[in-house]
Amino acid sequence: MAFEKHDVVPDVVDKAPAKVLEITYPTGAKVQGGNILTPTQVKDQPSVKWQADKNEYYLLCMTDPDNLSRKEPTLREWHHWLVGNIPGNDISKGEVLTEFLGSGPRPGTGLHRYVFLLYKQPGKLNFTEKRITNRSAEGRENFSSRNFAKKYNLGDPVAGNLYQAEWDQYVPLLYKQLGE
């Protein structure tokens, strides 16, 4: 599976999820197990689909384990999106902990992996994390999917997917949005 091929196991999670998330961006770009997409293609929130139990709650995370670069991941992980208490597979009804932010790898840092993880929650949860808007970089760095999953007793991810991206001309616009 792509998680082993691209070293997401062990860099982000201990075990690859059994199911694949179907992720499509408004540009038509699809996430396909480590394919290369551009920041321009993935700048807007994607649609994410999975087979869900409508009576269960899920948590979706998008994270970059390669910040500042894959060789020097001093800010690993930098999370781009975090939504919990998703009833079934209706993300729009979930609780947004961190608003979606597209890919923004710095120039010259090579390809970054962007990993999507889906966890089945043990029930509806009360999250204590500070909410982060898509205009803020603060609090996104040094995130740990592993530790977050442990904190809320989420177990291993039930589904996932990933793509790779490197700097393009959209990235400076993203940094401007973040006030950098």
With a cut of 90, say whether residue 180 has pLDDT above it.
Answer: no
pLDDT at 1 over 90: no
Arithmetic mean of pLDDT, 148-153: 97
The confidence score (pLDDT) of residue 155 equals 96
Specify the amino acid at residue 93. Answer: K
What is the sign of the dihedral through the CA atoms of 79, 81, 83 and 87? negative
Q: What would the pLDDT profile of 132-146 be if each residue is shown by its tens digit? A: 999 999 999 999 999
- At 101 the pLDDT is 96
102: left (phi over 0), alpha (psi -120 to 50) or beta: beta
Q: Is the pLDDT of residue 10 over 90?
A: yes
**Rounded average pLDDT over 90-114:** 96
Q: What is the pLDDT of residue 40?
A: 97
User: Buried b / exposed e across 31-67, counting CB within 10 Å, b at 16+?
Assistant: beebeebbbbbbbebbebebebeeebbbbbbbbbbbb
User: Mean pLDDT score of the chain, rounded to an integer?
Assistant: 96
Superfamily of domain 2-177, CATH level 4: PEBP-like (3.90.280.10)
**Using CA atoms, how far apart are residues 91 and 85, in angstroms rounded to an integer?**
9
Give the residues across from 112 on adjacent strands: 165
Cα(124)–Cα(57) distance, rounded to whole angstroms?
6
**Among candidate residues 58, 64, 97, the one with its CA nearest the CA of residue 80:** 64
Domain ranges for the chain: 2-177
Stretch 81-90: mean pLDDT: 98
Q: Is the pLDDT of residue 179 over 90?
A: no
Say how many CA atoms lie within 13 Å of 116 toward its Cβ: 30
